[in-house]
Chains A and B, each alone.
Chain A
Amino acid sequence: MEEVKEQTSHMPRIGEPAPAFEAITTHGVLKLEDFKGSWLILFSHPADFTPVCTTEFMAFAEIYPKLQKRGVELLGLSVDSVSSHIAWVRNVEEKTGVKIPFPIIADLSKQVSLAYGMIHPGESKTETVRCVFIIDPNQKIRTILYYPLTTGRNMDEILRIIDALQTTDKNAVATPANWRPGDKVVVPAPNTQEMAEERLKQGYECVDWYLCKKKL
């Protein structure tokens, strides 16, 4: 029971600084601070040489050019060794032709996994679940996704979240349900009576004073 408590001792939250780390990866020793100034997607997978993980890595490799265009770096993680990672990415390339261009943390000590709350003992006491941490250029956590071992992640949604966050940062707006680039955005709700009274006169498309949209 003590071991279980220790493994779940820290769950980072949205809006907090991303926990610092220094880790052995397939691209050498990397620190979180090496990524300062870029958006970063830090994601975990349960194990190398497993089926769902392999499909996810191929899918991440496929969206990698789109992420690069958006100023986003990718960094994978599992508790496997760096030798296992190297053997696996070479195997994926040999068998499928897909090259894995991004680094993968070999978190044998589970230091990074525990700092990021990636081990969920109800799913597995030893492997990380499928986590996605979207970290902004100031190294603040902006989005967290947790998926179970059995369910591969959706790359369209990950790209959509990146587009939404970058749009809200650039334009001081919010994005509604199912938003896609080009769709109307949400105007932040007024937080004073005076602003609420003015809102309906400002030419936005409004359901009421608290729900207004506009085109960018």
Chain B
Amino acid sequence: MACINPDGKPTASGTKVLRALQAGLKSPEEVAQDTGLPLFRVRSGFRELAQAGLVVEKAGKYEITDKGTALVQ
């Protein structure tokens, strides 16, 4: 997967996305702007990170979970 390694830890781009969410709830567009990642990568990344329980979607925006926070600290 592009954002999560086989061992469950985030890749460099996954970490960038998670770190961007440490400031609070953000849309994919906001995270793309903050990280410099293409929007399509952020959207697909959010899918992966949500499946792994590292982020959660709230009305089109995303929030980092406790599990996600633990992995980027």
Residues of A within 8 A of B (CB): 27-31, 33-35, 37-38, 73
Chain B residues closer than 8 Å to A73, beta-carbon distance: 38, 40
Would you call B12 an interface residue if the criterion is a C-beta within 8 Å of the partner chain's C-beta atoms?
no
Contact flags (1/0) for B11-42 with A, using CB distance below 8 Å? 00000000000000000000000000011110
Would you call B68 an interface residue if the criterion is a C-beta within 8 Å of the partner chain's C-beta atoms?
no
- Chain A residue at minimal CB-CB distance from B29: A37
Expressed in whole angstroms, the Cα–Cα distance for A41 and B14 within the complex equals 25
- CB distance B48 to A34 under 8 Å? no
- CB distance A38 to B39 under 8 Å? yes
Would you call B3 an interface residue if the criterion is a C-beta within 8 Å of the partner chain's C-beta atoms?
yes
- CB distance B44 to A29 under 8 Å? yes
Nearest 7 Cβ contacts at the A-B interface? A28-B2, A34-B40, A34-B43, A35-B40, A34-B44, A30-B44, A27-B2
**Number of B residues whose C-beta is below 8 Å from A?**
12
- CB distance B43 to A28 under 8 Å? no
Chain A residues closer than 8 Å to B41, beta-carbon distance: 27-28
Chain A residues closer than 8 Å to B71, beta-carbon distance: none
Chain B residues closer than 8 Å to A31, beta-carbon distance: 44
- CB distance A29 to B43 under 8 Å? no
B68 to chain A, nearest CB (A): 17
Interface core residue of A31, A33, A34 (most chain B CB under 10 Å): A34
Which parts of B30-73 form the interface with A (CB within 8 Å)?
38-41, 43-45, 47-48
Q: List 24 A-B contacts (CB under 8 A).
A: A27-B2, A27-B41, A27-B44, A28-B1, A28-B2, A28-B3, A28-B41, A28-B45, A28-B48, A29-B1, A29-B44, A29-B47, A29-B48, A30-B40, A31-B44, A33-B43, A34-B39, A34-B43, A34-B44, A35-B40, A37-B39, A38-B40, A73-B38, A73-B40
Chain A residues closer than 8 Å to B2, beta-carbon distance: 27-29
- Chain B residue at minimal CB-CB distance from A75: B40
Chain A residues closer than 8 Å to B39, beta-carbon distance: 34, 37-38
Expressed in whole angstroms, the Cα–Cα distance for A34 and B47 within the complex equals 10
| 5 further interface pairs, Cβ-Cβ under 8 Å (given A27-B44, A28-B1, A34-B40) | A27-B41, A34-B39, A34-B43, A37-B39, A73-B40
Interface core residue of B1, B39, B44, B45 (most chain A CB under 10 Å): B44
Expressed in whole angstroms, the Cα–Cα distance for A28 and B43 within the complex equals 11
Chain A residues closer than 8 Å to B48, beta-carbon distance: 28-29
Chain B residues closer than 8 Å to A35, beta-carbon distance: 40
